[in-house]
Amino acid sequence: MRRSVSALRAPLPHGLVPFGLGLLLAAPAAAAAQTALVADDSLLAAEIYAEIVEIASVTGSEDSQRILSVTAARLEAAGIETEIAGPDSAQVLVARLPGTGERPPLLLLAHLDVVPALSEDWSTDPFTLVEQDGWWYGRGTEDNKAGAAFLVCNLIRARRDGFVPDRDWIVALTSDEETNSAGIQWLVTEGRALIGEAELALNTDAGGGIIVGGRDQMFMVQASEKVYLTFELEVTDKGGHSSVPNPDNAIDALARGLVRLAAHRFPVSLNEVTRGFFARSAEFADAAQAADMRAVASESPDSAAAARLSDSPFYNALLRTTCTATRLEAGHADNALPQTARATVNCRILPGEPIDAVESTLNAVVADPRIRIGRKREPTASPPSPLRPEIMEPIEELATEMWPGVVVVPEMSTGATDGLYVRNAGIPVYGVGAIFGDPEDARAHGRDERVSVTRFYEALEFWNRLMRRL
C-alpha cells in the first residue's frame, strides 16, 4: 500500500490514531508497552517529517537555506526561541529550550541538507514522504531528516508539557553537512556564543541499531571518527612523441608507486572506542571470529588475529589508518608521452595519529623521489569522546528498556559527520541515531532511501527519554 503523508497536515479528531502509529502499537510488546507516544505526538512528528522531506534541500541549493526558515517558523509558533546565523551559503538554525542553568547546556545535532536524488531512478517521488508497506520513502528519510524531526518534535513536546530541564537544550540544525560542514565550523568558532559552554553533544547523524538475521542485536554509540585527509601525488616529465617511448614515463612511475601503496598496511592501533567495539561485538560473531575480536581488544592486540580480521574491509578500517587511490589524471594527447600524471589518495587516519607521520609513511611506501606528495587541505583533528558513565549508563538503560537483549557497542566511524568539528572544539559528541536497520540494506545517499515507520517512532521516543534524562 502506498500513501503520501501530505494528508496528515489536516487535523484529526481527538483519539484517532494516524497511519504509522498503528504499526508502532503492533511492535514487540517490550517496545510498544513502554512508549509514551500518543496520537497527537505521532501526528506532530509525521507532519514535521513530511514537511522537511518535501523540501528538496540539496546542499548548496536555495532550498537548503529555505528549509531553515520553514523549520524555524514551526518552532517559533510553539514558543521556542530560534536564530538563523552563519555564512550565507551554510547557515545554521539554533533553537533553545531554556533550563534552570544547574548544569552546562546539552547540544543536539542534526543536518537538514541532502545529497541529490534522480527522480527517474526512484520507485517513488524522492521529495515526497511516501508510506508503503510499513516504510517511509524519500530522500533524507534516513540521512538525516529523521534525526531533525526527532529533535524538533521533542523540543516542541517539552515546551508544550512545561518541562524545564536542569540545563539548556540547544538544537543545531545545519545546511551543508553533506559537503564541507562550514556551518558547524562557524558555530563552534565565531558563533560559539550561540551554544555557550555546552558540556556534551548528542548527534542524530551517527550510531543507531543493528539488525542481524532479523533480530535486534546491537545499539551503536558513535564516540569517535577517523580524520579525513586527501593527498595529491604528482609526477612530471619532459614528455615526447609516443612513437619513441622511454622506459619510465610519468604514468609508469606513478602506477608503480600506487601499486606499492595498495599493498601497504599501516600498523594496528586501537583506542578505548574501537577496543570496546571489538570486545562487545564478539558476542554476535562465530566462535573463531569472536576469539579474534577478543584477542585484538586486549591491551596487547594479537597480530595474527588482527591479520585475519583485516580480510574484512570494515574491520580493517577500524584497526588502522587507511590510504587508497580514488582518482587518476594523466597525459594530454593519445600520441604524446605524458608530461604530468596525478593521483588523488584519500586517507582516513586514526584519531591521535600524527599527520606528518602518515605523510612520511606515504613517501617511504611509494619510494620514488619523482612522485611529489602534497596535502590538498589541512585535516581537522577529532579526539575520541570518553566513554563516561554519566553518558553511557543512561544510554544503556534506555536501550535495555526499549529493546531488551540489545548490547550497546561503542563505535568509531570510518566516515565523518558534523560531530568531527564539535569534538575538535572540545565538546564530547555521542552519536545515538537510534533507528534500527539492516546494514545489508543501507540506502542512505542511494536509490529508494527509506526508514521503517515503526523504527521511526521507537527512535523518536528514545530521543525524548534520553534528552529528559540528561
Task: Read off the pLDDT band of 454 (50, 70, 90).
Answer: very high
Domain 2-223+382-469 has CATH 3.40.630.10: yes
The C-alpha atoms of residue 282 and residue 453 are separated, in whole angstroms, by 30
Q: Is the pLDDT of residue 9 over 60?
A: no
Break the chain into its structural domains and give their ranges: 2-223+382-469, 227-266+321-375
Q: Dihedrals φ, ψ of 337, to 5°?
A: -70, 140
Q: Are strands 135-137 and 130-132 parallel, antiparallel or unpaired?
A: antiparallel
Query: Dihedral of the CA atoms 87, 92, 95, 98 (nearest 10)?
Result: -60
Angle (deg, nearest 10), helices 453-469 and 39-53: 110
Q: Which CATH class is domain 227-266+321-375?
A: alpha beta
Q: How far is the CA of 36 from the CAs of 169, 406, 451, in angstroms?
A: 20, 20, 21
pLDDT at position 2, please? 56
pLDDT at position 117, please? 96
**pTM for the complete prediction?**
0.87
The C-alpha atoms of residue 437 and residue 459 are separated, in whole angstroms, by 11
- pLDDT above 90 covers a percentage of the chain that reads 87
Q: How far is the CA of 250 from the CAs of 246, 264, 370, in angstroms?
A: 10, 22, 9
pLDDT at position 35, please? 43
pLDDT at position 17, please? 36
The C-alpha atoms of residue 275 and residue 283 are separated, in whole angstroms, by 14
Bridge partners (DSSP) listed for residue 374:
232
Q: Which three cell numbers stand for residue 42?
A: 505521532
End-to-end CA distance of the chain: 39
Residue with cell 594527447: 333
pLDDT at position 162, please? 96
The C-alpha atoms of residue 424 and residue 430 are separated, in whole angstroms, by 13
Lowest mean pLDDT among 14-28, 201-215, 429-443: 14-28
